[in-house]
Amino acid sequence: MSKSNERNYGVYDLCVIGAGMCGVPAARHAINYARHATTKPYKVCVIGPEETQMIPDRDIWSAHYDEGRITRMSDPNWIWSLLARRSIQRYRKLEQDTGINFYSEVGSLTVGAEYIPVVQKTANDTGISVATLDNSQLQSKFPFLNFGDEDIAIYEAQNAGHISPRKLVRAQLIAALELGCDVIREIVNQVTEDNLLNGAPVMKVKTDSGRTIHARKVLIAVGCFTEFRKLLPVEPNLIFSPQTVTLVQITPEDAHRIEKMPSIIYRGKGAANWPGDALKNKDGAVGYYLLPPIQYEDGKYYIKMGHWDELLKGFLTTAKEVQEWFLGNGDENLGKQLEQAIINVVKDIKILGVHIDRCVTTRTPTRRPYIDLISPNLGVLLGGNGYAAKSSDELGRLAAHMMVDGCWKEQQLAWDHFKLQTK
């Protein structure tokens, strides 16, 4: 992707700051929607840097530099379930339109005990097709996985599996470019309201290079980096959760042997034959998410596992802490626990190598994203809470309609669910 394909528009109708999983679909949907909602051409740009290596003089990254995120319709919360459903239903068309395949429908397995009825109820209430597996059915269907004797599961065979966030963003970018969106490969450091344009205020966007871009409206969709630039006149109530993930490299033979492995979410007591206390919280419960073997861009196959917030030692509060986290090695002890947990769960795999990675999850007190207007010309799409990747297309669509309309017209989801809270 070139540094910029910006045309000489002068003033954009909408500038989306954040060229990631939520920002790019917001730009794409804004152009599409405005064609029907307005009578004039709608000029949109999206601003964000290219993917880059973790280097000391860089302090802005993105969550989509990876090949594996779980996707599923079932969820304990009906709002996240609906957001996922709407997004997943558009995956295949986006793949067909762009020629980029980012979705693997290998199914999703939610395993545990007390946690399962909550997921089952939401699925029943929202009409999602799932199967409930008792312990013997679970072990029979997935003999290459090791669970506890009390574990039961929700199995979602269709409309679930995993997506490549990196490829998803590429597909969204191609679709947005086809519609005429400008992609500007810079980092924004300030957003302010500028002088009136034909009697209306205009927003001024300044980049690290000293460039100035004008737009009638601006949408901020940059995750945990919102507070580390002068982007908003208020301070959103956001919690920055430092996540450690472990990827174990396995042989191609093992990857093909367990190719029917679904994505897994586990909340339970673990199995009696799991050695040690890997991933156990203070109450002795175990929680993790696990991706099946995925071939990464280096051609190798990896199984990836991550943890829940209960195992964190603390949260990040400053730009320096976030930068140091991204540039560091993660929580090495937690990374080793994740490695052991993978060995506990996936039977008889030969591990060729181990890589501990890290990212930051942006959480909100409501556990729902913020999709809101701070002023008629400035909006936010923030707080993925660890669930946004699979639902990012719908989150972008909701934010796009809000920005184009200047209000909330969505009927099934009340705006109150997504209102911004400030510190």
Residue 389 falls inside a structural domain: yes
Are residues 246 and 347 located together in one domain of the fold?
Answer: yes
Quote the CA–CA distance of 27 and 40 in Å, as a whole number.
17
Last residue in a domain, options 328, 346, 363:
363
Domain that holds residue 302: 121-161+239-363
Tokens of 257: 């042997």
Quote the CA–CA distance of 242 and 224 in Å, as a whole number.
11
Choice between 278 and 208, residue whose per-residue pLDDT is larger? 208
Choice between 57 and 193, residue whose per-residue pLDDT is larger? 193
The domain tally of the chain equals 2
Residue 145 pairs with which residues in a beta bridge? 346
| CATH number for position 19 | 3.50.50.60
Closest CA to 341 of 301, 386, 287, 261: 287
- What does the pLDDT average to over 186-199? 84
Are residues 126 and 214 located together in one domain of the fold?
Answer: no
Phi-psi category of residue 280: left, alpha or beta, with phi > 0 → left and psi -120 to 50 → alpha: beta
By CB atoms closer than 10 A (0-12, 13-18, 19+), residue 236 is buried
pLDDT bracket for residue 2 (50, 70, 90): very low
Give yes or no for residue 342 having a pLDDT over 90. yes
> What type of residue sits at position 12?
Y
Quote the CA–CA distance of 153 and 149 in Å, as a whole number.
12
Are residues 262 and 358 located together in one domain of the fold?
Answer: yes
Tokens of 341: 């947990």
Q: What is the pLDDT of residues 127-170, one digit of tens each?
A: 999 999 999 999 999 999 999 999 999 999 999 999 999 999 99
Residue 263 pairs with which residues in a beta bridge? 108
Cα 64 to Cα 43, 81, 178, 213, 295: the distances in Å are: 26, 21, 21, 25, 16
CB 44 within 8 A of CB 182: yes
Residue 70 falls inside a structural domain: no
DSSP conformational letter for 180:
T
Residue 70 pairs with which residues in a beta bridge? 162
Residue 114 falls inside a structural domain: no
For residue 8, what pLDDT is reported?
47
For residue 58, what pLDDT is reported?
63
Are residues 265 and 298 located together in one domain of the fold?
Answer: yes
| Pairing status of strand 239-250 against strand 301-307 | antiparallel
Q: What is the pLDDT of residues 281-292, one digit of tens each?
A: 888 889 999 999
DSSP conformational letter for 49:
P
Quote the CA–CA distance of 398 and 82 in Å, as a whole number.
12
Quote the CA–CA distance of 325 and 323 in Å, as a whole number.
5
How big, in percent rounded to 5, are the helix, strand and coil portions of the chain?
30, 30, 40
Last residue in a domain, options 326, 341, 363:
363
**H-assigned helices in 14-103:** 23-37, 78-88, 91-98
Tokens of 174: 């191609």
Quote the CA–CA distance of 417 and 423 in Å, as a whole number.
18
Give yes or no for residue 421 having a pLDDT over 80. yes
Tokens of 109: 């397995």
Are residues 177 and 191 located together in one domain of the fold?
Answer: yes
Three-class SS of residue 182? strand
Closest CA to 318 of 194, 224, 423: 224
Are residues 58 and 196 located together in one domain of the fold?
Answer: yes
Calculate the CA 313 to chain-centre distance.
23
- What does the pLDDT average to over 187-214? 88
Calculate the CA 93 to chain-centre distance.
20
Give pTM, 2 decimals. Answer: 0.93
